[in-house]
Amino acid sequence: MELTVGTVLEGKVKSITNFGAFISLPENKTGMVHISEVANAYVSDIRQHLTEGQDVKVMVIGTENGKINLSIKRLEPKPQRDAGRSNFRAGGSPRREGGNFQNREQSGGRSQRTPVPPAAPKTADELFEEKLKAFMSESDSKLSSIKAYSDHRGRNRRRG
């Protein structure tokens, strides 16, 4: 039996490692399911998904140098993305929606994204204030480094 990419087989979990599971296949062949190919969700412990001796259905996703790469998750239906999901990650930081686009909640539930208009241009006074602040900051930085250099040189001079 020739194993080609896309072939679906029945196998039995032979052994489990931290990085994947070895599967016994027909004709005394063995393939491996990498931990990233076990389930559509993130898998931190493969033993929560598979046990030794378990019968599994696998798909051949590659054959290189006599090694057979398998997948279980590619035979499962892909999970639907939750359209009403929160726009915040677990850590509390906002989820970036990419570029200057509004997300669906902000656009009234429309499925296409609409560009956000750019901020109003700054007035001449605001631009001047920004330039003045930048100049003052740079100037203070230069003055403090000059002062530190001159203080350092003054301490190292010999008194005669």
Residue 118 phi/psi, 5-degree rounding, is: -70, 160
Query: Which pLDDT value is given to residue 53?
Result: 95
Residue 100, pLDDT > 80, answer no
Task: Give pLDDT tens digits for 22-63.
Answer: 999 999 999 999 999 999 889 999 999 999 999 999 999 999
How, if at all, do strands 29-34 and 67-71 pair? parallel
Last residue in a domain, options 41, 56, 75? 75
Q: Which residues make Cβ contacts (< 8 Å) with residue 24, sequence separation at least 6?
A: 11, 12, 13, 14, 30
- Among 60, 75, 90, residue at a domain's last position: 75
Q: Is residue 80 part of a domain?
A: no
The more confidently predicted of residues 25 and 138 is 25
Longest dimension (CA), the chain: 97
Residue 84: inside a domain? no
Q: Kindly state the helix (H) or strand (E) to which residue 40 belongs, with its residue range.
A: none
Average pLDDT over residues 5-9: 91
Flag whether 93 is in a domain: no
Give the chain's domain count: 2
Task: Record the tokens describing residue 96, joined without a space.
Answer: 């970036």
Of 19 and 126, the structure prediction assigns the larger pLDDT to 19
Name which residue leads in pLDDT, 99 or 51: 51
CATH number of the CATH domain containing 27: 2.40.50.140
Q: Is the pLDDT of residue 104 over 70?
A: no
Q: What is the pLDDT of residue 107?
A: 45
Phi first, then psi, for residue 116 (nearest 5°) are: -90, 130
Q: Mean pLDDT throughout 65-83?
A: 84
| Position 149 confidence tier, pLDDT thresholds 50, 70, 90 | confident
Last residue of a domain, one of 20, 44, 75: 75
Note the pLDDT of residue 74: 92
Q: Is residue 99 part of a domain?
A: no
Domain of residue 33 covers: 8-75
In a domain, 68, yes or no: yes
Confidence at residue 69, expressed as pLDDT on a 0 to 100 scale = 94
Residue 119: HSE in the Cβ half-sphere, 13 Å Cα cutoff:
3
Residue 70 has pLDDT above 90, yes or no: yes
- Statement: residue 86 has pLDDT above 70: no
Q: Are 74 and 33 in contact (CB under 8 A)?
A: no
The whole-number pLDDT of residue 138 equals: 85
Q: Could you tell me which of 80, 60, 82 has the C-alpha nearest to residue 71?
A: 60
| pLDDT at 72 exceeding the cut of 90 | yes
Q: Counting Cβ atoms within 10 Å, is residue 68 exposed (0-12), middle (13-18) or buried (19+)?
A: buried
